[in-house]
Amino acid sequence: MTRSDRPTIVDVARAAGVSKGTVSFALNGRPGVAEETRQRILDAARDLGWTPSHQARALSVKRALAVGLVLAREPELLGADPFFPAFIAGVERTLSDRGQALVLQVVPEAEEEAGYRRLAADGRVDGVFLLDLRVADPRIALLEELGLPAVSIARPDVPSGFPAVLVDDRPGIAAAVRHLVELGHRRIAHVAGPSQFLHAQVRREAFTQALADAGLPPGHIVEADFSAAGGARATRELLAHQPTAIVYANDLMAIAGLSVASELGVVVPGQLSITGFDNTALAAYVSPPLTTVRTDPYLWGRAAADALLASIEGGTVDDVPVPPAQLVVRASTAPALPAV
Amino acid sequence: MTRSDRPTIVDVARAAGVSKGTVSFALNGRPGVAEETRQRILDAARDLGWTPSHQARALSVKRALAVGLVLAREPELLGADPFFPAFIAGVERTLSDRGQALVLQVVPEAEEEAGYRRLAADGRVDGVFLLDLRVADPRIALLEELGLPAVSIARPDVPSGFPAVLVDDRPGIAAAVRHLVELGHRRIAHVAGPSQFLHAQVRREAFTQALADAGLPPGHIVEADFSAAGGARATRELLAHQPTAIVYANDLMAIAGLSVASELGVVVPGQLSITGFDNTALAAYVSPPLTTVRTDPYLWGRAAADALLASIEGGTVDDVPVPPAQLVVRASTAPALPAV
DNA sequence: CCGATGAATCAAACCGGTTTAGTAAACGGC
DNA sequence: GCCGTTTACTAAACCGGTTTGATTCATCGG
């Protein structure tokens, strides 16, 4: 077994002719070690192929040297959402530079609390990310109780008690509505996400606000669950009110909506304009290509990881703003028909 | 800080009036502890709210008590693929019952090897999953060098040197082709995945074989990269040869193909039948709903985690077969036109 | 030239478990 | 009634790092 005979700092100490403690100091770049000695130790460590034992370090510094992510969504929804892989990739980018690991937990929704508790009880992680923030989210109190540092992806106006990466979906939705209004649409509807999610709520409010700003009457809003099935159902419901445009809270529902329209003989974008949100991999490759809002979850991941590590180190961490989402205009939006 | 004053087994020992070692024995259900004493110890542990320190245990048993997953795909492809979330959910299901954690690494393709090396060098994990097996996969030798147990998701006929969850895509592809043949199709084409991936190759061979079995001449095959863009490009290329049906190696490409057909005025399924592979969340909600092949990555995840843990425990582990994929017939396939 | 200061180093304790060696008391066989 | 074996338990070593307190030795001010 290759791994059982790994050299330890004792081996390094012996090779360099110093004590264990000195090796530790040298390897950690602490003062109090003569430059020449330090070099001799580093050389010895390199020659022996020494690698720190993460377990031993974790035990003595009383840190897990890892951060956690608990995903309590349905696997089906996760699979259709490009957010997570990109977010995680961004997180990793920061973590791997800092010798930290990401511990992932995917649990059924009912076991969300247990997931966090287990992570904390085992001392598996030093902090966690808080995603999909909900209204009066019980996790906030839970994490405080557990004494676990956290960083959330949150909206600018909703304090979560933790440092947050401030993602503002409003400009994206506003841009979509403005775009539709400029195309002459006046009967614009919205398929919202579940109202228990803050980001779904924010998008919905942004939609309402944007209509008001344009001097238009309130549009029809149907709440769905971010899934394709939900998007399809909501679309059928909305089409009864004959909107000329629908703003969806995510791409998945928008693409499902596209299909429903097509099946009902409603031509997109001729009779109905459609916008999504997320700019998923498929958005540009459906027919017609979807006008949507591009976000940058990779960047959020990096920012969130930076903030979380800083928070774990103990500093007070400021909220981190990120660039606003951008509208990507494709072919699913077109001028409204002259009359209805 | 809630976490700094956690009780240790020394506290439990003191409370129960026994020694540290006895507590360890009692808690681990070892023989040599009187039943009455054991009960007293368990009670004390419960009363104190004792939780094992994962770090301490990991250090003394020289185990990470965690397994790893290195994802070297582009985040974009990951996001569109329902495989990972479902697979990971299945893995978690097994792991969480056994007190193990999942350490995830998402790295750029070029850093794949470094990712495994880092996981092994840090002693972060006791074993890893090997996904997206490639032809002459360099990771097999790498993991052997690192002495890291692994479990792969592999095809029945390609030994990988590790225990494997045997997933056979061939029946799924064969069923799709048979289905098309029964509908009268004779000019069937295939959009394959990158040939360096074993599963792409297997699907491609299964396609060729199924045509031969049906007594049909070889069909056109275009290789793409599993992405929407690649699927669209491949579809344009294939349509020049006027197939009456296209079998795609995954849903993402199939859905992109659907849109290309629609834009070129080729009616699906009237003029062209299309099948996908994966049964993604969107498959049932595109227009027309996609005939595809349903797989069960959640189950694979559970099986793979079981096998990996067994392999880490040291036993020889047999390959695990899983139920074959099933064809899901929807509306993107229809009888071939009488003549071309 | 002596004591004070500080730099370099070492030995040992510590983190919280597991595991081994050793011991005292109970038990059984003959 | 003595000896050998179990049983139940303790003490201590160990895993591989970090951290503290003590010690040595060179340097410097007065």
The string of pLDDT tens digits covering residues B13-24 is 999 999 999 999
Q: Tell me, what's the pLDDT at A276? A: 98
Both tokens of B328, joined, read: 């899901």
Whether A186 maps to a domain, the answer reads yes
CATH code: domain of residue B35:
1.10.260.40
Asked which of A294, A316, A333 is the last residue of a domain, the reply is A294
My answer on whether A163 and A301 are in the same domain is yes
State whether the beta carbon of B17 lies below 7 angstroms from any atom of strand D: yes
Please tell me the distance from the alpha carbon of residue A337 to that of residue A306, in angstroms, as a whole number. Answer: 49
A312: Cα separation from own chain's centroid: 19
**pTM (2 d.p.):** 0.92
Q: Tell me, what's the pLDDT at A340? A: 45
Q: Tell me, what's the pLDDT at A156? A: 78
Whether B57 maps to a domain, the answer reads no
Residue B121: CB atoms within 10 Å: 16
Whether A269 maps to a domain, the answer reads yes
Residue A107: CB atoms within 10 Å: 20
Please tell me the distance from the alpha carbon of residue A150 to that of residue A162, in angstroms, as a whole number. Answer: 6
What residue type is assigned to position B127 of the chain?
A: G
Residue of A106, A128, A299, A330 best to disrupt the B interface, most CBs of B under 10 A: A106
Q: Which residues of chain A have pLDDT under 70?
A: 1-4, 339-340
My answer on whether A164 and A306 are in the same domain is yes
Both tokens of A104, joined, read: 């992932």
Domain extent, residue A13, equals 9-52
- Nucleic acid strand C: bases within 7 A of protein CB: 7-21
**Helices A35-48 & A9-16, crossing angle to 10 degrees?**
120
Polymer length in residues for chain B: 340
Whether A340 maps to a domain, the answer reads no
State whether the beta carbon of A21 lies below 7 angstroms from any atom of strand D: yes
Residue A310: CB atoms within 10 Å: 17
Residue of A55, A97, A295 best to disrupt the B interface, most CBs of B under 10 A: A55
Beta strands A273-275 and A320-321 are unpaired
Condensed to tens digits (0 to 9), the pLDDT of residues B25-64 reads 999 999 889 999 999 999 999 999 999 999 999 999 999 9
Given a cut of 90, whether residue B104 has pLDDT beyond it is yes
Given a cut of 50, whether residue B3 has pLDDT beyond it is no
CB contact under 8 A, B146 and A2: yes
Q: Tell me, what's the pLDDT at B60? A: 95
Q: DSSP assignment of A53-100, as one string?
A: -HHHHHHHHT--SEEEEEE-S-HHHHHH-THHHHHHHHHHHHHHHTT-
Condensed to tens digits (0 to 9), the pLDDT of residues A21-45 reads 999 999 999 988 999 999 999 999 9
CATH code: domain of residue B260:
3.40.50.2300
My answer on whether A175 and A277 are in the same domain is yes
My answer on whether B257 and B311 are in the same domain is no
Both tokens of B269, joined, read: 């399924």
Q: Tell me, what's the pLDDT at A79? A: 75
Residue B1: pLDDT band (50, 70, 90) is: very low
- % of chain A exceeding 90 in pLDDT: 83
Strand partners, A154: A166
My answer on whether B177 and B103 are in the same domain is no
Q: Tell me, what's the pLDDT at A1? A: 37
Whether B1 maps to a domain, the answer reads no
My answer on whether B174 and B285 are in the same domain is yes
B74 CA to chain A: closest CA distance, Å?
9
Using alpha carbons only, what angle is made at residue A279 by residues A273 and A283, rounded to the nearest 5 degrees?
60
Given a cut of 70, whether residue B339 has pLDDT beyond it is no
- Residue range B262-275: mean pLDDT, rounded: 96
Whether B340 maps to a domain, the answer reads no
Judge residue B98's burial from the number of C-beta atoms within 10 Å of its C-beta, 0-12 exposed, 13-18 middle, 19 or more buried: exposed
> How many domains, in total, are found in chain B?
3
Q: Tell me, what's the pLDDT at A339? A: 55
My answer on whether B174 and B258 are in the same domain is yes
Condensed to tens digits (0 to 9), the pLDDT of residues B147-200 reads 999 999 988 777 777 999 999 999 999 999 999 999 999 999 999 999 999 999
My answer on whether B163 and B203 are in the same domain is no
CB contact under 8 A, A106 and B88: yes
- % of chain B exceeding 70 in pLDDT: 98
My answer on whether B84 and B184 are in the same domain is no
My answer on whether B247 and B301 are in the same domain is no
Please tell me the distance from the alpha carbon of residue A91 to that of residue A96, in angstroms, as a whole number. Answer: 9
- Residue range B203-207: mean pLDDT, rounded: 97
My answer on whether A164 and A313 are in the same domain is yes
- Residue range B289-314: mean pLDDT, rounded: 95
Condensed to tens digits (0 to 9), the pLDDT of residues A166-207 reads 999 999 999 999 999 999 999 999 999 999 999 999 999 999
Whether A59 maps to a domain, the answer reads no
My answer on whether A161 and A307 are in the same domain is yes
Whether B135 maps to a domain, the answer reads yes
